[in-house]
Amino acid sequence: MIQLVLFGKPGAGKGTQAEFLKETYGLRHLSTGDLFRHHMKNGTPLGLLAQSYMDQGALVPDQVTIDMLEEAVEQSPEAQGFIFDGFPRTAAQAQALDAFLAGKNLSVSATIALEANDEELLVRLLERGKVSGRADDQDAEKIQIRFDEYNQKTAPLREYYQAQNKFYSVDGIGAIEDVKQRIAEVIANLK
């Protein structure tokens, strides 16, 4: 089974490439944002717990997110592996993910970071904002804040996964097919 952690700044193409990975390798895409929205919308116990922290302006504890991921994994016995998108975001979360996977006799196979320069991503996001109507993709200053947050939080994760020889930087610029091929080469060379 393949367990991938997918990284990339907003606009780097994570959603597009996750679709390719799902179709090609039979993986289930677990986006923590999607999981949170699902649980809160449906008023599940985990959703209500997460909402209670968010209502107080507090960060949702890592264990709540891990519990959501664990439930999603349990509900997907047919999956050939998983794509973790949006988690982990800190070294502590990476350790929690490793512990969770180890309990299932699994481990992260690779961390794939879709790399792209901020100028290119800004153009992509502003274009996406025109089409999608997403407010967070229509303001260059807010986009830069999101880039800065990614840079601050991802640096320790890069080091964490590099220490395990599981970090792969992939050029996210170019035609979608070219980026797919670069990712496929990384996966083909996994041990």
Beta bridge partners of 82: 3, 28
Backbone phi, psi, residue 104, to 5°: -110, 15
Give the pLDDT score at 170.
96
Give the pLDDT score at 6.
94
Domain boundaries, the chain: 2-188
Does the annotation mark 128 as catalytic? yes
Which residue among 37, 104, 130, 134 is the active-site one? 134
Residues found in the chain? 191
Distance CA 46, CA 36 (A): 9
Give the pLDDT score at 59.
76
Longest dimension (CA), the chain: 45
* 171 Cβ contact partners less than 8 Å away, ≥ 6 residues apart: 115, 116, 179, 182
pLDDT in tens, the chain (191 residues): 899 999 888 899 998 999 999 999 999 999 888 898 899 999 999 999 998 988 888 778 888 999 999 999 999 988 999 999 888 988 888 999 999 999 999 999 999 999 999 999 999 999 988 888 877 788 898 889 888 888 887 778 999 999 999 999 999 999 999 999 999 999 999 96
In what side-by-side order are the strands of the sheet with 28-31? 28-31, 81-85, 2-8, 110-115, 167-171
Which residue among 9, 14, 124, 182 is the active-site one? 14
Which residue among 37, 104, 124, 128 is the active-site one? 128
Does the annotation mark 134 as catalytic? yes
* 44 Cβ contact partners less than 8 Å away, ≥ 6 residues apart: none
What CATH fold (topology level) applies to the domain 2-188? Rossmann fold (3.40.50)
Give the pLDDT score at 61.
87
Which residue among 22, 28, 124, 146 is the active-site one? 146
- Give the other-Cβ count within 10 Å of 40's Cβ: 16
Give the pLDDT score at 188.
95
Give the pLDDT score at 5.
96
- Give the other-Cβ count within 10 Å of 18's Cβ: 19
Which residue among 9, 28, 89, 180 is the active-site one? 89
Does the annotation mark 124 as catalytic? no
